[in-house]
Every structure is written in structure tokens, then in C-alpha cells.
Chain A
Amino acid sequence: MVSDSISAVPIPSAANTKNPGKKKRTNRSAKLKQYKIDARREQWLSQVSGAVKSKGCKDGVEDDIVRAPPPAVNHGKLSLEPLNTRREGEEDDGLVHHDSDSESPTNCPAGVLCGNDSGTNFTGSSSGGSSSSSSSSSGGCCSGNITEEEEEEEEGEDDDDGCLDDWEAMADALAADDKHENPCSDSPPVVLPREGSNLGSPNSKPESSRLVPWGSGSNRAWRADDAFRPQSLPNLSKQHSMPNPDRRCVGGVPWGRISTPSPCPICCEDLDLTDTNFLPCFCGFRLCLFCHKRILEEDGRCPGCRKPYECEPVETEASVHGGSLTLRLARSCSMIERS
């Protein structure tokens, strides 16, 4: 599979790069983020094109659509071992593009732009190798990510800000595959980055950083328990599992149990939360605040024990001093009677 893809990549990339360029112009306003990526890519390309020209790679620098050919050519010329990893990454990018394209048309510009380097490689190689490379897609993406991270840490910051969540999710999801890929991709990042793969990396970087997590994330990362899963997405399992027990345990039970079965014995209205916490008399007779006020206005005695209601401040002292309680009560009673 790898060899097929390698052989297939350079040809279509050179042939099809013009179409993506047109598409890119039309779709440039699709996303601001994508626009930033494009701008950065152009910077890279301008730099690299100069470097490539100095190197004398003519075919890669052809005209306006500089970006795609150079990486492909450079990869082909520079080294074969890095190529393997790089090609894998490109393949997988292609697969990812398919996913993203099918998911949302807004990702098309990204797919086109990203496809500059390996262009229609995706259509050709992924059609043949989609089934097989899908299994290795995670590994390929990982290799790309690793190389890019190592290569351009300072450059990746902006992009990473945008897709930090995806990056982390990717890293978590692909942690196992990294270990497999690392031995292969350890050397190439060192070799490639400095020279040619500055071209390849900007191209593949946004893809892998931005698209791969989304494409592969739809398969892997966004599970119900995924922490990076967008909260705006409806999650049936969460909605059913999380809030209901809370409501039942916290809100539902006390209200249901306390309020409905215990109406105010005086007015037969259900006691609300304040009333249930209102204990005006030591005999434990509960009633609603409304009835309590009315009773205080009339004779001021507890309906349960017929003892006069104590004033609120006395309530605390009452348990301590029995004697002073009676005095105060008498006073309060007299006040009520006078009024």
C-alpha cells in the first residue's frame, strides 16, 4: 500500500494542483481560521519557494500554485525513508479529507488547500487504499503531527490555539499509535524539517492539526464521555443520565416528600420550603407563616400545645432559662392584647 501511494502521489499532485488553486480562491472567505492558515501557508511558500529556487527545483516552483509541487518533489528527491512516513501522512490526510468533505461542505476549501501538496492523490490512492489505510490512518496522522510539532513549535502556536482541544483529543486518542510510529518517524523530522519539509509541513500541518482530529474524531474522539466533546451537541446519554438523578435526588425528593404530604394543619395549604423550616413552637407543631402571623395577631398561642408563642429572640433563650421565659411571654402576651 505504501509503495503504491508513493508512486501515485507525485503525479497527480503535479497535475491537479491548478484546480485546487482556483477553488481556493473561491472558497477563501469560507472561514477566518482557514484564511489565517492560508496566509501563513503563503508566507511559508514564499520563503520556501525562494529556497527551492535557490536549490534549483524548477518543476516544484511552477507558477502560481507553488505550494503543492515543491513538497512532493522535495520529498521525492530528498530521502526515501522520510518519504514513507510523509506519504503515509498524506494518504491519511486524503482519507481525512473524504471524511470532512462528506461531513460538511465548509471544510472543502481546507481539503482543497491541504490537498495541494498531494492533490488528488486522495482520490486515486485513497479509493484503492481507503479500507486498508483507514486502519493506519491514525498512525499516519500521528507521524505527521509529531514531525510538525517538532519542526515548528513556534509556528504551530496560533493554529494550536484554534484547535487545541482537537490536538489534545488527538494526542489522547492516538497515544498508542505514537509509540508505534515514533521509531520510524524519529529520524525524518530531523532531516526533513530544515530543508524541504518546511513546505510539506505547512501543508500537512493544518490538515493534520485541524482536519484529522475532526475527521478521525468523529470516529474516535467524540464519545459521550469525551471531555472535549462540544457541549452544544445534543447528548442523549448525558442528558438522561446526568441531570435526572440530580433532580430526583436533590430537588425532587425533598419537595415531593415534604410539601405534598404535610399541608398546613390550619389552612390546609401546602407548606412550602420556608414553612417546613419554620418551627415556631417547641411542641413541634408546624404551620405556615401566614397562619402563624394570623394567630399572633389574635391570641398568639400555639395550636398544638395552646402555649403562647414566644418571640423569636426568646426562642433561643427559652431552652436555657425557664423562668425568664414565662416573664417574657407574659409581656409579649400583654403587648398583643393591648394592640
Chain B
Amino acid sequence: MQASKARLFKEYHEVQREKTVDPDIQLVCDESNIFKWTAFIKGPSETPYEGGVFQLAFSVPEQYPLQPPQVRFLTKIFHPNVHFKTGEICLDILKNAWSPAWTLQSVCRAIIALMAHPEPDSPLNCDSGNLLRSGDVRGYQSMARMYTRLAAMPKKG
């Protein structure tokens, strides 16, 4: 409990200090609960998610960092490894490959990397996975880009 709080406080200060270092990631801590975080990540360039801003919800367990934070997309995203309805993310580092040395910031980076390099063999979004597994990259990209525009881009008129 105390260890996780101390760790999260340190991460908070790191985030405040390095706000400008990584412009693709904006980590915000809940004002009343340090175990609740929100992240805004920019869709990586040269991907169907480019131009979109995706909101992530972090729920940090008390055993953190020995246990990984629970992360899910609040923003709709069409991605083989993200559950389309719940936003659950299938990412090894959030499951068995988690390391206490990782931070919330590094988790965000890993998610950005996952967006750029989907893993269709362990899909949470079967439609998206099937498109990629069948080799229909174009279909996948168009679907993903559509949902990015629909959900992750500011609506201008």
C-alpha cells in the first residue's frame, strides 16, 4: 500500500517534470485518487490511428508495481488487440510479461507501440484480427482509420 503510493507519487513527479519530453503521452492523475490515472496518447504516425487522440484509463492495484496496472481504452479503437466494446487491451506486459520496473509512462509507450504493430494472433477484436490474418491489411487500415476519425478526432463541424 505504502510502497505503491510512494511509487505512484514518484511517477507523478516524473510525469510533471517530463511533460514536454514525450508529447505523444499525456498522463493525468485523478485529483482525489492516485490509483486512478488517465492518459491521452496520440496515434502513431503512418498508422490508421494517426491524428487521433486516444484516452486510456489506468486502474492501479495496491500491489503495484508488483502487479501491473489495469489499462483500457476509453476511446473507441479498431485494433486486433483491443476489445472493441470494453477497451480491454491484450498486451503481454500488462499480463504475464509485466515487470515492476515498468511505469505508467512506459505502459503508454508500449500501448503506442502495440497500436503501430498489432498482434493478430492473440486478438481481442476478432474482426480486426481476422482482417489482418487473412491478409486484408487495406480493409483493416480503412476500418481503423474510420473509427479513429469517428472516435479519436475532435469533431469540427
Write out the residue numbers on chain B whose beta carbons fall within 8 Å of the beta carbon of A287. 100
- 9-residue interface stretch from A65-73, A173-181, A243-251, A262-270: A262-270
With beta carbons under 8 angstroms apart, the residue of B3, B10, B101 that contacts A285 is: B101
**B101 and A266: CB pair below 8 A?**
yes
Known contacts: A267-B3, A285-B101, A303-B99. The answer to whether A295 contacts B66 by CB under 8 A is yes
What residues of chain A lie closer than 8 Å to B100, measured between beta carbons?
Answer: 265-266, 287, 291, 295, 303
Q: With an 8 A cutoff between CB atoms, is A56 at the interface?
A: no
Chain A residue nearest to B6 in the complex (CB): A268
A257 proximal to B (CB < 8 A): no
A321 proximal to B (CB < 8 A) = no
Interface bits B44-81 vs A (CB < 8 Å: 1, else 0):
00000000000000000000011100000000000000
Q: How far is the CB of A131 from chain B (nearest CB, A)?
A: 73
Partner of A268, one of B7, B66, B67: B7
Q: Is residue A55 contacting chain B, with contact meaning CB distance below 8 A?
A: no
* Interface presence of B97 (CB below 8 A): yes
- CB closest residue in chain A, given B11: A268
- The chain B residue sitting closest to A297, CB to CB, is B66
Complex CA distance for A295 and B97, rounded to whole angstroms: 14
Known: A267-B3, A267-B6. A306 touches B65 (CB 8 A): no
Task: Bin chain B's interface residue count.
Answer: 10 to 19
Bound Cα distance A266, B63 (Å): 11
Q: Decide: B6 and A266 in contact? CB cutoff 8 A.
A: no
Whether A338 is near chain B, meaning CB under 8 Å from some CB there, is no
Answer yes or no: A304 CB below 8 A from chain B CBs: yes
- Nearest residue, chain B, Cβ from A305: B99
| Residue numbers in B under 8 Å from A290 (CB-CB) | 3
With known contacts A294-B66, A295-B66, A298-B66, A269–B101 Cβ distance under 8 A: no
A168: min CB distance to chain B, Å: 61
Contacts of B6 in A (CB 8 A): 267-269
Instruction: State which of A266, A294, A301 has its C-beta within 8 Å of the C-beta of B7.
Output: A266
Which one, B65, B66, B99, contacts A304 given CB within 8 A? B99
CA distance A287 to B99 in the complex (A): 13
Nearest 3 pairs of A and B residues by beta carbon: A303-B101, A267-B3, A303-B100
Complex A-B: 15 CB contacts under 8 Å: A265-B101, A266-B7, A266-B65, A266-B66, A267-B3, A267-B65, A268-B6, A268-B7, A268-B9, A268-B10, A291-B3, A294-B66, A295-B66, A295-B100, A298-B67
